Amino acid sequence: MSVATKLKPSPKPVSEPRAILGPTGNRVRVSDESKRKTEGLKKPQRRKIPVSESPNSVVQNNVSVDSSCSSDSSSSSASVKTVSSRKTVKRSGVKPVKAKVAPTADEVVVEISPVLSEPSKRCDWITPFSDPLYTSFHDEEWGVPVYDDRKLFELLVFSQALAELSWPTILNKRDIFRKLFDNFEPSSVAQFTEKKLLSLKVNGTLLLSEPKLRALVDNAKQMLKVQQQFGSFSSYCWGFVNHKPITNGFRHSRQVPVKTPKAEVMSKDMMQRGFRCVGPTVVYSFMQVAGIVNDHLVTCFRYQECNANVKKDIKPKIDEIGKLTKVVENTRLSR
């Protein structure tokens, strides 16, 4: 057979109008065309090529259209692509998948991941099940140096009350304590009579036992004497540590003592002055809560914070206490 007999004639004349190629190529458009005919859909518009154009110009136009999707349809190519792809996916029953587009040079991709804030590490005796009031007391008050006489008297009373009550119980009743004991003003509490003491009840029950209440009044009287001798109760208490807090470095709660030699010395001196219910254990609890001793564990976030606060405030307090001490000494010499 000759070569001429093997060649098949062209299915379409060159001058016949041809459909414009879409972004996905002629094959897809032809399949879409057949489907539209089957489903009775509206045929897409075709660009008519004038007959006067030569075959070469027609081929060149088709090549340029295939590569650039034609300048006439460039403005609507995105919409055509979206519509055709949506219809094709819908008919095939496949869920459309959003294409991943790489960011350009002007775009910044930021991945947002949830940040879990870890709770601050506290001393071992504060647990997630602790009373919130007790936790706040640990975070804000316990171990912070105190120099106010009225506040020191309040903390001394609470340290004595630990023999009968726990810290959470005391803190929940703190407002009641302050109301019944005239906001722990020593000059006012020193004037309490036996009758008034026995009337300090809540729901028919005394806040503390009778010996503790009597000791409270006696200690208020002794505080007034200490203020006259040392200028302030604060100067007297801080004098046992040379007016500078003791910072311990305990890592475990089992290492924290219940009393120390310093507490024993202070306890003995207070007893000689007439203070009551001030054993070494009570005195050391008082030193801890008043910030005279920093017994926060080194793993607790408050350990460093209390040290930082001491460095900021200790110098003016030392200067003030030193002046008061000199006044007391001059008074003694003049006598």
Q: How does pLDDT run across 14-55, given as a tens digit for each residue? A: 454 444 433 444 444 444 444 454 455 444 555 554 544 444
| Residue 104 lies inside a defined structural domain of this protein | no
One domain, residues 153 and 227: yes
pLDDT at 141 over 90: yes
Decide if 274 contacts 209 (C-beta within 8 A): no
Residue 294 domain flag: yes
pLDDT value, residue 91: 46
Same domain, 183 and 319: yes
In a domain, residue 226? The reply is yes
> Which of 46, 75, 104 delimits the end of a domain?
75
Please report the pLDDT score of residue 249 as a whole number.
Answer: 86
Q: Which helix (H) or strand (E) holds 201?
A: strand 201-202
Mark the binding-site residues, compressed into ranges.
123, 138, 296, 300
In a domain, 192, yes or no: yes
Whether residues 185 and 323 fall in one domain: yes
Tell me the mean pLDDT in the region 140-166. 95
Q: Are residues 193 and 62 in the same domain?
A: no
Instruction: Find residue 246's DSSP bridge partners.
Output: 293
Q: What gap in Å lies between CA 322 and CA 303, rounded to an integer?
A: 27
The reported pLDDT for the residue numbered 305 is 85
CATH code, domain with 157: 1.10.340.30
- Indicate the burial class of 119 (C-beta count within 10 angstroms; 0-12, 13-18, 19 or more): exposed
Which residues fall within 8 angstroms of residue 148, CB to CB, at 6 or more apart?
234
Beta bridge partners of 247: 294
Question: Which of the listed residues 75, 97, 116 is the one where a domain comes to its end?
Answer: 75
> Do 166 and 294 reside in the same domain of the chain?
yes
Question: Does residue 48 sit in the same domain as residue 163?
Answer: no
On whether residue 102 sits in a domain, the answer given is: no
Per the structure, the count of domains in the chain is: 2
Asked whether residue 239 is domain-assigned, the answer is yes
The Cα–Cα gap between 184 and 149 comes to 9
The answer to whether residue 238 sits within a structural domain is: yes
Please report whether residue 123 resides in a domain: no
Rounded to an integer, what is the distance from CA 273 to the centroid of its chain? 47
Annotated binding site for Zn(2+): 123, 138, 296, 300
Note down the domain range covering 290.
Answer: 132-334
What pLDDT is attached to residue 47? 53
Highest mean predicted confidence (pLDDT) among 30-44, 67-81, 102-116, 219-233: 219-233
The answer to whether 325 and 195 are in contact (CB under 8 A) is no
Do the Cβ atoms of 291 and 144 come closer than 8 Å? yes
Across 55-70, average pLDDT: 43
SS3 59: helix
The per-residue pLDDT for 198 is 86
- Reported as a single tens digit per residue, the pLDDT across 173-232 is 999 999 999 999 999 999 999 889 888 888 888 889 999 999 999 999 999 999 999 999
pLDDT in tens, 275-299: 999 999 999 999 999 999 999 999 9
Q: Among residues 75, 104, 123, which one ends one of the domains?
A: 75
Distances (CA, A) of 149 to 2, 118, 225, 236, 291: 124, 38, 13, 10, 14
Same domain, 68 and 204: no
Of 87-101, 142-156, 249-263, 285-299, the range with the lowest mean pLDDT is: 87-101
Same domain? 153 vs 64: no
Rounded Cα distance between 16 and 58, Å, is 10
CB 282 within 8 A of CB 265: no
Residue 88 confidence (pLDDT): 42
The C-alpha atoms of residue 148 and residue 171 are separated, in whole angstroms, by 19
Is pLDDT of 323 > 90? no
CA 328, 154, 257, 247 torsion: positive or negative?
negative
Residues 196 and 282 in one domain: yes
Q: Is 53 in the same domain as 144?
A: no
Cβ atoms 147, 318 nearer than 8 A: no
Based on the domain organization, do 327 and 212 belong to the same domain?
yes
- Note whether 65 and 197 are same-domain residues: no
